Amino acid sequence: MAQKRNTLGRGLDALLSMDEIKTDGSSSINEIEISKISVNPNQPRREFNQEALEELASSISEIGIIQPITLRELSLDRYQIIAGERRFRASQLAGLKSIPAYIRKASDENVLEMALIENIQREDLNAIEVALAYQHLIEEYDLTQERLSERVGKKRATIANYVRLLKLPAPIQVALQHRQIDMGHARALLPLENPKLQIKLLKDIIKNNYSVRKVEEIVKDLNAGEELSSGKKKQNAQLPEEFNILKQHLSGFFNTKVQLTCSSKGKGKISIPFGNEEELERIIEIFDSLKK
C-alpha cells in the first residue's frame, strides 16, 4: 500500500498506472475536436474562476496547450473528460477547434477517483468539494472510509475529517467554499451541537478574524456553559453577587471551575467541567455520596 501512495507525488500519469485503477488503452497523444468532448457531471470541482480561465485562455492562444487533457471514449467520436476540464474550458474561450488529449478506458468510479486525486494534488478543490467527492464515492460505490483511503492514497482520518464537514450548517459550508474561513475553523465548530450558535460564531470569526486556536477556546467555553454575545462571552462578573457566591461555593465543593449562567429572567444553567475520565469519576462519586 505504501508503494501505491508514493505514486501520488508523481502526478496523474503515475496514478493511472496504479493496479487499483485499471485503465487500459493507449497513452499516445491524440488531437480531439472540442465539439466531441463533454464534461463529467460528477467532476468534483464545482467552481471555475472566470478571471483565471481568461488568463489561461490568453496563454493558450499564445503558446498552445502544454499538458494534454485526459479523456475516456464514451462512444464513436464522443469523449468525456477525466482530467483537465479547466484547460478544456480555457481552450473553448481561446477559440480552439481541437485539443491534445490522452484517451483512456475507465469506469465511472475510476473517472471520479482520477479527477478527484488530480485536483487534490493541484490543490484546486476547496474543502467542501473534496468532502462531497469523498461522500459521493462512498455512497455511489458502497465503499468504507478505509477502502476509500486505500484507493485515493489518503489516511482514513483525513477522509473522515472532510466528510464530517458536510454535517455543518449550509452558511458555514458556503463560507468554507468561498474561503472566508479555512478547514481548521470549520472543524473547530463541529463540537458545538447548536446550529444557530455555530452560525453566530461563524459571523464573529469572519468579523473579528479569529484564529483557529481562538475558535477552539470559545467553543470549549461555550460547551462548558459560557454564553456568546456579540462575539464575546459574557463575563461572570455581570452575575448578581449572590449568584457569584453560589458559583464560588459550588466550585469549591466540586474542586473544579463550575460555570453558572443566568438570564435577566432568572433562567440559567450550571455546568461542571471535567478534564478526563478520572475527574468525571470523582465528580460522580461526590453525587453518589450525597444520596446516602
Question: Catalytic positions, please?
Answer: 85
Q: Which helix (H) or strand (E) holds 67?
A: none
CB atoms within 10 A of CB 154: 20
DSSP 7: G
Pairwise CA distance, residues 239 & 242, whole Å: 8
* Coil, strand or helix at 241: helix
Pairwise CA distance, residues 10 & 14, whole Å: 6
CB atoms within 10 A of CB 118: 22
Q: Which three cell numbers stand for residue 266?
A: 432568572
| Residue (of 47, 43, 41) closest to 179 by Cα position | 47
Q: Which three cell numbers stand for residue 214?
A: 481562538
Whether the Cβ atoms of residue 173 and residue 128 lie closer than 8 Å to each other: yes
Q: CA-based angle 118:143:132, to the nearest 5? A: 50
* Coil, strand or helix at 212: helix
CB atoms within 10 A of CB 121: 15
| Residue (of 290, 287, 247) closest to 268 by Cα position | 247
- Please count the residues of the chain: 292
- What is the dihedral sign for C-alpha 189, 183, 112, 64? positive
